[in-house]
A and B are shown apart, each in its own frame.
Chain A
Amino acid sequence: MANIAAQRIRREFKEVIKSEEVAKCAIKVELLNDSYTELKGEITGPPDTAYEGGTFVLEIKVPETYPFNPPKVRFITKIWHPNISSVTGAICLDILKDQWAAAMTLRTVLLSLQALLSAAEPDDPQDAVVAKQFKENIEMFQMTARHWTNVYAGGPHVNKECDDKIKRLVDMGVEEHQARVALSSYNWDIERATEQLFS
């Protein structure tokens, strides 16, 4: 690993640990190896959003050319958001692509991701299905995102109705996550979700 990259990550790691956001438990990073190439990030869902109360884990890979190229980041925790793939966790965010600047840091990235959770950009989607729901039925989107936050990120809002529908599909032999994806994609219409799952 290039000298500058390791040097920078070592320094940034300290910076994040000392930052006021860590003190408020808003963001966190952990080193996964000694060579500073892989890290685990964590952000909490911003207040007054569907993600409130959830903790989202991120995979951070540092390229050799860091910080001249951006880190590769994706969500490990499953999340329902227009700019994040519900399947792979891939993120569509300009600073992780061509708007990256070498003076940005992991702290910048984590705070920007947190900001992305508060303000989605459905016109520049990563997940077309989620973006469509966001634009056409915002209440349905909020409900679904809150439910995912509860199930995958430890959020506080249990949704009995969603859980029941998933259970009905699970009883029919469908895998739980698959059932959740199908129902979420079809606005929790159990008939259409079933149709899609068994076609």
Chain B
Amino acid sequence: MENAINLSSQAPESDMECSDNDNDCFDDDDYYNIVDDSEIEQIDPSKTDPENFKYDCLGEEQVERLLNETVECLSYNLKITPSLAKVLLLSHQWRVNKIIEKFRKDASELLISSRIKPPVTPPSLSLSRYITCPVCVVVQPAEKFFSLSCSHMFCKDCWVTHFEVQINQGISTAISCMARDCVVLAPEDFVLKHLSRPSMREKYQQFTFQDYVKSHPELRFCPGPNCPIVVHSTEIRAKRATCSNCKTAFCFQCGMDYHAPTECSIIKKWLTKCADDSETANYISAHTKDCPKCHICIEKNGGCNHMQCYNCKHDFCWMCLGDWKSHGSEYYECSRYRENPNIAHESAHTQAREALKKYLHYYERWENHSKSLKLEEQTLEKLRARINQKVMAGVGTWIDWQYLFTAASLLAKCRYTLQYTYPYAYYMDVGPRKELFEYQQAQLEAEIENLSWKIERAETTDRGDLENQMDIAEKRRTTLLKDFLDV
């Protein structure tokens, strides 16, 4: 017979100080050391760049080390086994100080609510030499039996099978006692003591690792396919993290595609809505429209929304089909949706139609920019091929043409933000703040289309002009984010 927990093992002499965010080895001190003291003020990107985000991309071993530091710290402070410290950390989002505080206040209550101890004190252990296992109903000598802190005895073979069945179903840190209505959890050391097959031990440790990372507020698995990287940041915000291994960029807070300036909850709502209404919105996916002047059918094969009819040379906007010349000054009428101010007094039918119209307005623009992003990627491929030819023909070197690729990646970044301004605007309340947002959105949109137009015609655009346009577009983007990125 053996009891799984030992609440009074290893008694250290003094307390060790713990802090929830204390992970010295991952501090960014080195980053600043290479900069002259005098320059720090100008360089501090957290003040100038609204998207600035400090994070580290960690491999499995580094994550283990980070987790173990916290585990050891708690284990040392409460004088409990590391295995029990893990159970506590898992159920308390790794908040060491919170756990210590609760422990000092009422240790028993903490251990019960964390499913380490049973709510009622177990009856005294049976002293008979033979026991019938309630699971396999085999009678065996008492030394073949084990229990958790709840004293529910089961034979070793049954514990092993229980663990293996659970692990094969993907369960690891949530494995509980086999007795009816008993919620006591099997801590890691108890499970590992019984598992002997190496493949099972490995699977178990892999699953517990996943549970630990998922329960840790400062850690996120990289969402890239089969990528082992874990991103760590002490700033739990909707900021962009880019994986150093697979280059996947994602929102650190929710793990979805980065979505500034829209908030996590709003983008989730928007994406659900888009999925629900996909049929209604389907007709939008037109690749062709008629020229508003000569009515010839025009196919959109680039990302730029400033269109020029190949037949009559008329310049128009792909989104609203308005004349591009007048569009330039009044652009913001194109991105903005004009709501009917008297809608509250209209019939339910009219209101429903209006709601759909509003949604389609935003959805169409959201979808269009997403398509433009893909088309601009194709444009870039074509550009790469053309430049390759030029370089082969001796017209400049790759370095001479590098600025074009820089421009293209900036364009992608700007258009990406622009795409995510539409769900933001859709859920905004009408008022001066929305007006300001739409004004800035329109400004950004205009500069992006100008940039796209210039990149598509790269060989005839001079470099200075293009670089100037890049500057303006990026400035508009950061201004909008600075004013509206609220994380």
Contact = CB atoms under 8 A, between A and B. Distances in A.
Contacts of B13: none
B161 interface: yes
Given A102-B158, A102-B162, A103-B152, A67 B180 contact: no
A164 B135 CA distance: 52
Nearest to B161: A68
B165 A11 contact: no
Contact of A68 (B137, B152, B165, B177): B165
In the complex, which of the residues A4, A65, A68, A69 has the most CB atoms of chain B within 10 Å of its own CB atom?
A: A68
A68 B137 CA distance: 13
Interface string B141-178: 00000000000101000100110011000000000111
A103 B134 contact: yes
Contacts of B179: 101, 103
B136 interface: yes
A104 B176 CA distance: 14
B138 interface: yes
A33 interface: no
Contacts of A67: 135
Given A68-B161, A68-B162, A69-B165, A101 B178 contact: yes
Contact of B181 (A68, A101, A102): A101
Given A68-B165, A69-B165, A102 B178 contact: yes
Nearest to B137: A11
B320 interface: no
Nearest to B169: A69
Interface residues of A, number: 13
Contacts of B135: 4, 8, 67-68, 102-103
A19 interface: no
Contacts of B181: 101
B182 interface: yes
A65 B162 CA distance: 9
B297 to A, nearest CB: 43
A112 to B, nearest CB: 10
Interface string B225-246: 0000000000000000000000
Interface in A95-109: 101-104, 108
Contacts of A69: 165
Contacts of B165: 65, 68-69
Given A4-B161, A68-B161, A68-B165, A104 B180 contact: yes
A101 B134 CA distance: 11
Contacts of B178: 101-103
> Dominant SS at the B interface?
loop
A7 interface: yes
B290 to A, nearest CB: 42
Interface string B129-140: 000001111100
Nearest to A67: B135
Interface string B175-192: 011111110000000000
Nearest to A10: B137
In the complex, which of the residues A7, A11, A69, A103 has the most CB atoms of chain B within 10 Å of its own CB atom?
A: A103
Nearest to B176: A101
Contacts of B154: 102-103
Contact of A103 (B138, B161, B166, B180): B180
Contacts of B158: 4, 102
Contacts of A68: 135, 161-162, 165-166
A68 B169 CA distance: 12
B136 A7 contact: yes
Nearest to A5: B136
Interface in A154-174: none
B182 A101 contact: yes
A194 B99 CA distance: 62
A104 B180 CA distance: 6
Interface string A60-73: 00000101110000
Contacts of A4: 135-136, 158, 161
Interface string B397-434: 00000000000000000000000000000000000000
Contacts of B161: 4, 65, 68
B180 A101 contact: yes
B178 to A, nearest CB: 4
Contacts of A103: 134-135, 152, 154, 178-180
Interface in B416-456: none
B133 to A, nearest CB: 9
Contacts of B166: 68
A146 to B, nearest CB: 32
A7 B178 CA distance: 18
Contacts of A101: 176-182
Contacts of B162: 68, 102
Contacts of B137: 7-8, 11
B167 to A, nearest CB: 11
A101 B180 CA distance: 5
Given A69-B165, A103-B152, A108 B180 contact: yes
A68 B179 CA distance: 11
Contact of A7 (B138, B152, B180): B138
Nearest to B181: A101
30 contacts: A4-B135, A4-B136, A4-B161, A7-B136, A7-B137, A7-B138, A8-B135, A8-B137, A11-B137, A65-B161, A65-B165, A67-B135, A68-B135, A68-B162, A68-B165, A68-B166, A101-B177, A101-B179, A101-B180, A101-B182, A102-B135, A102-B154, A102-B158, A102-B162, A102-B178, A103-B134, A103-B135, A103-B154, A103-B180, A108-B180
Given A101-B176, A104-B180, 8 more contacts: A4-B161, A7-B136, A8-B135, A101-B177, A101-B178, A101-B180, A102-B154, A103-B180
Which 4 pairs from chain A and chain B are nearest by CB? Answer: A102-B178, A68-B165, A103-B134, A102-B135
